[in-house]
Structures are given as C-alpha cells and as structure tokens.
Structure 1
Amino acid sequence: MAFEKISVIGLDLAKNVFQLHAVDEAGDVIIRRQLRRNQLLQFFEHLPRCLVGMEACSTSHYWARELVRLGFEVKLMPPAYVKPYVKRGKNDAADAEAICEAVTRPTMRFVPVKSCERQALLMQHKTRDLLVRQRTALINALRGHLAEFGIVTSQGRLGLRAAIEALSAAQEFLPEPSWQPFEHIRKQLEELTHKIAELDRIILRWCRNEAAARRLMTIPGVGFLTAAAIAASVGDATEFKSGRQFAAWLGLTPRQNSSGGKERLGRISKQGDRTIRRLLVVGATAVVRRARLDAASFPWIARLLDRKPAKLVSVAIANKTARIAWAILRRRENYRFATA
C-alpha cells in the first residue's frame, strides 16, 4: 500500500475538523485528507509509525501524548516558526503542508510535550492569574464607586484596606440602593482573596516536593510562583542548547534589525511564555529595589542603574535570571552567590 511509504506527517489541529498532509522520503505527497475529531486516532492506528509535526497550541499537548502512545514521534513547533513555510493562500491544506515541511528542517526549534501533571500545575497558574485579574477589576470598581460619593483612597493593598474601612464607616451616610452592590463587591473580594491564597498554598507545596523548583528558588528574584512555572513549563532543560536560547524562548532577548554589518538591537521580542516572562520581570524589579537600598551587595546592578532606567534594568536582570535558571536546571545545582 502507498501508506507504507509515509515518512513525515503534518497535522493541522482544530476543534472538530483536522487536516492531514503526509509525504514519503522523497517529499512526494501520499495523503491529503480531512478528518473529524472522532476519526483521528482510529485513522492513525492504520498508518506506519513515523514523524508527526504539529503547531503548539492549547490542545496540541493532548494529541501529542495520544500519538506517542501509538508509537509515533511527535514534534511541536511554535506557529510563528511555521508561518514562513506557507506558500500562498492560507487554508487548512496549506497549513498542514507547511507543518509537514517545517518539521523536517534541521534548524527548527521545537516545544517540549508537556505531561498531564505539568499541564495541571500550569492550569493552577492560569486560574490564579484569572482570579487576580478579577480581583483587580473589583478593586477598581469599588474605588470608582466610592469616589462617586466623595470617598477617595490610595492604590495598593493599604488603599484597599482603607477603602473597605471607609465603606464600613460611611455605611449609614450612603444611599440605601448602594448598600447591596457594595456588599456584593466586598464579599466577592473576600472570596477571591481566599481562593488565590489556597492556590498559592497548593503551588508552594508542589515546589517543596519538586527538586528542580527548590533549586530555582535559590536564585535572587525567583519565588515559588516563578520557580513552579519554569519547572512545569521546561521539564527537560536539554531541549535548549544554551541559556540565551532559553531566554529567547521566553521573549527576553532584543529583536534584531541588523544589515550590512551594522548591528541594531531593539526592544525584547516578547515571543514566548508571557506568564514566566512577567514573573521574571516582577522578581527582577524586586531585586532592583533591594539593590537601591544595598548597592554594595549588587554592584553591577548599581552601576547599571546609574546609566539606564530602572525598567530597562529590570528586563536585563530578568534576562540574566532566565539564563541562570537554565544553567541550574541543566547542571542540577543550587545558585551560588558571587564571593567577590
């Protein structure tokens, strides 16, 4: 059968209809076919075991695990790296063909397939981020409604506490129709705070039981949230050839627009995991604040602050922290503070 000659398969994922593009070792097309969701695994069971390429997306890790169970070699690629291989006209067939070609390129960079356990931990991070955004929206609504009645408080945790205290003190002076909406907002804030704290305890417990996360937490500016996100997302640090490649994967390296021997570096690319990138920058900002108070302990940061804005220094520290994190994961060692 012609199916026996298949060597590479490009699979374009979707919710219900999947596009498959298979070629032989010479690059000749063997199969171009659409498959429904309930037909996919059954169809792959009758194919010879070969290389399967897919774009990394929300469902790609599930399908990758299922195909690996059937004996296929599965590689996931960032969609931005597959796009240049689309010839002309974007449709499912063209996308599947581009994936099939891109997965065979020797310079292609791949995304590690996550296990169910690691995806579950990352789901806790995403849920926590969602709850934090909801809490922020409620805080803004509370402060805005109070301002309409002449009660103005500062931002931040102290401002929230002051707003709730002011709400309790002014309860009898506020119009009766406003009592119930204010109470709904206050109760939701309290409930969200408890849920966020509960997720924090779960993530911290996982970090204490995971050797890689414990090692990452020895780095200045890396707390349990950052350590858990990196340990769950990366898994095997050998997927990256260097710390710079890992930092580039997180979008912390500058974009280049170099030509004619002239090197031009711009802002960071921001291509990659935005959650880890944000956590690293937040942690680096804390290190900058500490360096301002104790310049002797962070001499190179102090010298940077003399020449560059604080936000730029924070991003530079986040870049360096990402490279240190890769080295620690690769060598399985704790962070060692410089003695001089």
Structure 2
Amino acid sequence: MIDTATFAGLDVHARSIKAVALDIMTGEVKSATFGYDAAAAADRARSVDPAARCVHESGVTGFELQKKLSSLGVDCVVGAVSKMMKPAADRRRKNDRNDAEFLARMLSTGNVAEVWAPDDECEAARDPTRALEDARDDLERSKQRLSKLPLRHGLVFDEKAPSGRRKKNRTQAYRSWARSTSLAERADNEVLPCCIDDARQAAESKARLEGLVKAEAGRPGWKRRVDSLCRLKGIDAMTAADLVFEAGESSRFKNARSFAAWVGPTPSEHSSGESVRKGGITKAGNKHLRKTPVEAAWHYPTRSAHSKDLAKGQAPGQAARRHAAKGVRRLVARRGSMLERGMRRNKADVAAAREPACWAWAAGLMAEEGREKRPASPSGRAAIVRT
C-alpha cells in the first residue's frame, strides 16, 4: 500500500545532487540542484512532502547518502542501475534532470529493484578483502615483469634443485639470481632493481592485507560464520571471509538458489515455448566474488569425501559441521561424476561452482543468531526453521 503521494529521484554526483519530486496525485514535477549535502537533500524532501520517498542509483558514491538520509528521517532507497530499463528514446536526451525524473517515476510505479544497503561494519570488512584482491593482481603483474626483463636480454634462469628438477621463476632463488644478474646497458641495470623492489613490496602488501582480513574475520560478529564456511573443503579463511563479507547477511537471500544466482555461477537461459537453451554463466554479482566458488570447485577432484578437521581456534556450530560434512560428500561425488562422463575440466569446474555457493549460504545461515536450518537439498532448496 502506498503511504505517500510524493516520490523524489536523486541524480547523485561527487559534488552535486539533482533532485526531482513527482506528485502522483497532481502530476506536478519540481526540481532543485544543490551540492552533495545530505542535510540539504533531506530539507528539500521534507519541504515538498514530509512523507516523500527518495531513490538514487547505485554507483561509485556508494551508500553514504542513503545512510545519512535515513538517519535524518527520510525514506530513501538505492535502486539497482543494472535493472532499470530506460526507453530507447531517452538515449539522445540524457541530462541530470531527466535522469532524476525517470528515477522518481520508476519509484512511483514500484519498478525499482532495491539494493541491500550494508551497514558500516560490513562495508569496512569488505574493504580489506577487495584490497587483497587488488594486491594479488599487483603481485602477479610485478612478478611477470620481473621474470620477463632478463629473458628479453637472453638471460634464462636455469638453476636446479638437488633432485634435478628445474626451479621455478617465481621463487626466492629466482629473485636472488636476478639481483646478481648484470645486463649490458646501464639503464637496464637501473630498471631491474626497481622490478625486484616492486615484487617485494607487492608481496609485503599482500601479506599485510591477509593479516587484516584474518583479524577482521576473527571478530565476534563474523567469526562463527567464517568458521562454519571453512568446514567445506576448498574454502579457507580468506575464501570464507570473501563470501561472508560480501553477502553481509545470509538471511537476506530467500534460498540457496537465489544466493547462487546473485554470486553468478548459474547457467544463463534463453528459452521460449518448447525450446530450452542454456548458455554460459550469468556473471551476476561482482567479479571479485564470482571467482570464489569456482576456485573452491578446483579442490574436489583430488579430495576425499571425509569432512575437514577443525583448525586451531575454529568453533562452528554442530549443525554447521554436520551440514558441511554432508556437503563435502555430495560435492566430491558430483565432481567425480562429471569427470567420469568426460566433461572438460574447465567446464566441470564452473558447472560444479554453483553447489559450493549453495552449501556455503546454508552454513552461513545456520551460523547467524536465532536461526537453524536443515541441510540443503542438491537442488538448492532448503527450509528455514526459526528457533
């Protein structure tokens, strides 16, 4: 039931906000422009209608404005920009006022898909994991540059271990060899130490961020959920922290299927009538989280169906432990059946990635306070029992 007749769309930028208020009873449209100031936006909304509802698109400005407006007593939501279908005619008349009016009209008709807004603690927990992902990429690039610079000048690392096996490039032995290497030109000899320092600093940054993530995962608000997810094979503390921090609350997803669809390793579909066509994964959610269940699926071809041993300091609930043990048996058997059918390994990894996400959702849900959940079925459906 609509409890207000006024809807406001906010086109938010780093330094300005364009607000358009729509009265659905009279059709009147009012617009205003002011700086990026939540108090000014709240005053404008209250001056038009104290019960006005506001919306702004999801984007780089995050959830700060929505949180401030809510704290000031203004009903504000964040709309998923990926689910807003604008008319083709609007492509050639884009401006801030039209964008804000479009948001107001979408909200008035109930066509805004609201984005779940994490609290400050959840947002702060996400930052170390995302920074860690960037640090891993930086380390990979720096090691690649370091290994290829001597190679371009005809110098090849060919040191062997006592067993006779050739040592890899991305090792401490390679870095020691690179420090002792002398190139023909002075400029090259100055660049090589820079490449070595970049690789060392990237490795130090990665190690420091891993410590931050582990410390954050050990906080009381997260530890039980992280420990519960760690019971699944292929999911360590870093992976569990990624899933828990990005999801925020497992209970905001109605079932395991919706969580897997949000993560992204779910087949796309283009079916009509009797024609059923399924394609590659949907790639929903964010790129950072989507890789996590795929990497977890890598481990199952070489793992036994026995449950994991508890690591030092882990304290998951009994329900989560039983659920994880069942999940490991299921995932090992399913992954093995894919290989027996002759499915290519890469395809099987992605095909099996959906299920670890489903089991992880159920384990996280059981770890949340005041809830207990029966083990999920292979289809991803699971009943929730409140305690």
Same fold (TM over 0.5): yes
Is this contact kept in 2: 1:247–1:319, CA < 8 A? Answer: yes
Match for residue 283 of structure 2 among 245, 259, 270: 270
Cα shift at 1:285: 1.9
In the alignment, does 2:63 pair up with 1:71?
Answer: no
Q: 1:253 to 1:5 in 2, by over 3 A?
A: closer
Cα shift at 1:199: 0.7
Which residue of structure 1 aligns with residue 141 of structure 2?
137
Match for residue 170 of structure 1 among 181, 185, 188: 181
Which residue of structure 2 aligns with residue 194 of structure 1?
204
Paired with 2:298 and 2:108, the residues of 1 have a C-alpha distance of 41
Q: Tell me which amino acid in the other structure corresponds to 2:40.
A: Q
Q: 1:109 to 1:248 in 2, by over 3 A?
A: farther
Which residue of structure 1 aligns with residue 191 of structure 2?
181
Which residue of structure 1 aligns with residue 14 of structure 2?
15
Cα shift at 1:55: 1.6
Is this contact kept in 2: 1:252–1:318, CA < 8 A? Answer: yes
Q: 1:194 to 1:92 in 2, by over 3 A?
A: same
User: Percent identity between the aligned chains?
Assistant: 19
Q: Which runs of 5+ in 1 are unaligned?
A: none
Q: Which sits farther off after the overlay, 244-253 or 82-91? A: 82-91
Describe the SS at the equivalent of 1:76: strand
Equivalence map 1:84-233=2 (5 Å): 84=86, 88-89=90-91, 90-103=94-107, 109-152=113-156, 158-161=168-171, 162-171=173-182, 175-209=185-219, 210=222, 211-233=224-246
Q: 1:110 to 1:95 in 2, by over 3 A?
A: same
Cα shift at 1:217: 2.0
Give deviations 1:267-313, integer Å, cap 9, x for gaps: 11212211111122222223345479xx9982221111233221222
Is this contact kept in 2: 1:6–1:22, CA < 8 A? Answer: no
Paired with 1:291 and 1:85, the residues of 2 have a C-alpha distance of 53
Q: 1:175 to 1:87 in 2, by over 3 A?
A: closer
Paired with 2:375 and 2:101, the residues of 1 have a C-alpha distance of 48
Q: Tell me which amino acid in the other structure corresponds to 2:79.
A: M
Q: 1:179 to 1:337 in 2, by over 3 A?
A: farther
Q: 1:337 to 1:97 in 2, by over 3 A?
A: closer
In the alignment, does 2:263 pair up with 1:250?
Answer: yes
Q: Which runs of 5+ in 2 are unaligned?
A: 159-166, 306-327, 378-387
CA RMSD of aligned residues (A): 3.2
In the alignment, does 2:314 pair up with 1:302?
Answer: no
Q: Which sits farther off after the overlay, 97-106 or 259-268? A: 97-106
Paired with 1:105 and 1:316, the residues of 2 have a C-alpha distance of 38
Is this contact kept in 1: 2:233–2:299, CA < 8 A? Answer: no
Paired with 1:12 and 1:219, the residues of 2 have a C-alpha distance of 43
Paired with 2:66 and 2:250, the residues of 1 have a C-alpha distance of 19
Q: Tell me which amino acid in the other structure corresponds to 1:100.
A: A
Describe the SS at the equivalent of 2:264: coil
Describe the SS at the equivalent of 1:179: helix
Q: Tell me which amino acid in the other structure corresponds to 1:164.
A: R
Paired with 2:292 and 2:277, the residues of 1 have a C-alpha distance of 27
Is this contact kept in 1: 2:52–2:75, CA < 8 A? Answer: yes
Paired with 2:155 and 2:259, the residues of 1 have a C-alpha distance of 48
Give the number of aligned pairs: 329
Paired with 2:89 and 2:237, the residues of 1 have a C-alpha distance of 44
Paired with 2:39 and 2:114, the residues of 1 have a C-alpha distance of 23
Cα shift at 1:136: 1.8
Q: 1:76 to 1:153 in 2, by over 3 A?
A: farther
Cα shift at 1:159: 1.9
Cα shift at 1:57: 1.5
What TM-score, normalized by structure 2, do the two folds share?
Answer: 0.75
Give deviations 1:4-29, integer Å, cap 9, x for gaps: 96532222221223222222354834
Q: 1:254 to 1:60 in 2, by over 3 A?
A: same
